[in-house]
């Protein structure tokens, strides 16, 4: 819009009490911008929102699947490592180790989001998640080293990476899913 057009529009606007020519001009420009955006929006195809319920359900479903896969992988390693500490005579007690570590990772991750929502410091939660995931990953790697069927060094390394990453993936997946369920304090306002 040129200056001459704006000036002409401002002069043709009926004068109202208490409004200056500049205020009338700003109002005219705002109205024209709104009309232009409305016309452009009518010609534009509807966009697919990332907040669409289908996308959120898909994200949570994938997160649940990945959490289950990570839990099973970590469970296997911790179950095997628990036999070293507890012995093979009480397999029902061996189940306690993987459940204890992996459920604690999930619990601290969920607590992290609840604390964030309340505005409480979350550093200690991250520290505990890191400690639990590191202990779990170490046990998984040592278990992989003892039961591996790898015949080459690259196979052994890859097996250790996969088993060692599972507790961290479990925390990451819970983190991604919970970030869509729990709102940050500034987003809730």
Residues 76, 26 share a domain: no
Residues 84, 128 share a domain: yes
Task: Name which of 90-99, 132-141, 170-179 the model is least confident about.
Answer: 170-179
Residues 69, 136 share a domain: yes
Residues 162, 113 share a domain: yes
Residues 57, 32 share a domain: no
Range of the domain at 30: 3-43
Residues 134, 71 share a domain: yes
Asked whether residue 48 is assigned to any structural domain, the reply reads: no
pLDDT band at 105 (very low <50, low <70, confident <90, very high): confident
**Number of structural domains found in the chain:** 2
Q: What is the mean pLDDT of residues 58-78?
A: 84
Residues 24, 59 share a domain: no
Question: In this predicted structure, what is the pLDDT of residue 16?
Answer: 57
Residues 35, 113 share a domain: no
Task: Output Rg (C-alpha) for the chain, integer angstroms.
Answer: 29
Asked whether residue 109 is assigned to any structural domain, the reply reads: yes
| 17 vs 135: which has the higher pLDDT | 135
Residues 100, 14 share a domain: no
Residues 96, 24 share a domain: no
Query: Would the pLDDT of 9 be above 70?
Result: no
Residues 99, 172 share a domain: yes
Asked whether residue 81 is assigned to any structural domain, the reply reads: yes
Q: What is the mean pLDDT of residues 26-52?
A: 73
Percent of the chain with pLDDT over 70: 79
Q: How far apart are CA 97 and CA 75, in angstroms?
A: 8
Can you give the pTM of this predicted structure?
Answer: 0.61
Residues 172, 103 share a domain: yes
Question: In this predicted structure, what is the pLDDT of residue 12?
Answer: 64
Q: How far apart are CA 157 and CA 77, in angstroms?
A: 15
């Amino acid at each position: 819009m040129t200056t001459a057009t704006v000036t002409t529009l401002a002069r043709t606007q009926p004068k109202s009490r208490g409004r200056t020519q500049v205020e009338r001009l700003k109002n005219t420009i705002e109205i024209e911008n709104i009309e232009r955006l409305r016309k452009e929006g009518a010609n534009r195809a509807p966009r697919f929102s990332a907040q669409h319920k289908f996308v959120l359900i898909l994200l949570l479903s994938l997160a649940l699947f990945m959490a289950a896969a990570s839990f099973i992988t970590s469970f296997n390693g911790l179950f095997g490592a628990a036999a070293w500490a507890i012995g093979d005579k009480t397999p029902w007690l061996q189940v306690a180790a993987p459940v204890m570590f992996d459920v604690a990772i999930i619990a601290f991750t969920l607590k992290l989001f609840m604390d964030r929502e309340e505005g409480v410091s979350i550093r200690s939660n991250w520290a505990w998640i890191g400690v639990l995931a590191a202990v779990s990953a170490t046990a998984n790697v040592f278990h992989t080293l003892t039961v591996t069927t790898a015949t080459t060094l690259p196979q052994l390394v890859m097996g250790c990476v996969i088993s060692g990453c599972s507790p961290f993936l479990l925390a990451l997946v819970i983190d991604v899913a919970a970030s869509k369920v729990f709102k940050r304090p500034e987003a809730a306002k």
